[in-house]
A = this chain, B = another copy of it.
């Protein structure tokens, strides 16, 4: 399982090509052959370096939200801080697209989405909302708005959502997140 340094550029080219293919085509339609062609590499090399297609996908599909410390900002600004962070985090990283595009049909990928939600988003939200009983619900509501934005803007590409500027999106979405985080129904 240890490879020489000379194969490292090839392995990285494969990983990069895989990320792009999985992000745009999803797991099923992103073929090993296409990934190899993008990386200017023989298809058999993909299997040799990464074992099989599933393991290659797993390496490209570990996404880290890298949430900022929301407890560091005033409670009534948490929604704005979260909105600005998410929009910049997603604009230049295709990691969430990779997961979202295949999580709708693949249960492994859906499990990863649930894990990201439970492991990264929910705990952070639980700490800033003192109430432990509503924290899980609030985190779920935040997910509906946040993932809905990713879905419409980057995956489905609904024209009006694509055409909005980052600043416009933050202006509209931040208050929605704020209400889910600390407001009342």
Contact = CB atoms under 8 A, between A and B. Distances in A.
Interface size class of chain A, counting residues whose CB lies under 8 Å from the partner chain: 35 or more
Interface in A20-56: 25-26, 28-29
Copies of this chain, tallied across the complex: 2
Contacts of A156: 103-104, 110, 113-114, 147
Given A26-B104, A104-B100, A179-B176, A148 B140 contact: no
Nearest to A117: B158
15 contacts: A102-B104, A102-B105, A104-B105, A110-B155, A114-B157, A114-B159, A136-B160, A144-B148, A144-B152, A147-B156, A148-B148, A148-B149, A168-B185, A175-B179, A176-B176
